[in-house]
A and B are shown apart, each in its own frame.
Chain A
């Protein structure tokens, strides 16, 4: 199984809502990532987890809160988002020894109204 799954595929939320994005992989990868991608732009790294511990936070606003409850799951909790946070949120995973070879999910298309 070389698939990274993400739910939901689409999400529309108001600025006062709280929602969560979910990501799952069963490849035994112990590094997991969240990226943000705006239209016609490259993915931008947000967070990196290694062995279920947060190793990199790219100065992401606190309204984004990541969580890695176990080695297969990665969540991104969203609260009080702004319209400019509307984007495609991509989850990825990799082997710790091959951090450059990342497997991406299809993403969650988020719209903040």
Chain B
């Protein structure tokens, strides 16, 4: 298994500002992903974080709004840019190695006021 640490665990931000969420895995992984989840609801994939190259975004998500970095095999960041109240959600980092299960961080609960 892998242990994933996400920071911050929660934050309250002013609209129009940006927040960067960090995801650190305790060992090298092949794939890293970022999800969004409304409390009590399902997960929606934002993007796949690719090591050393641009992230692969899902339909409805764009790089200008959600820039992602992955400088190495154990670390990734997601920035939520120019935030509005609609961005209030839980953001989850996930990682996997090849043909194994994915592991998840504890999530970042973001509230935009």
Decide whether A and B assemble into one complex: no
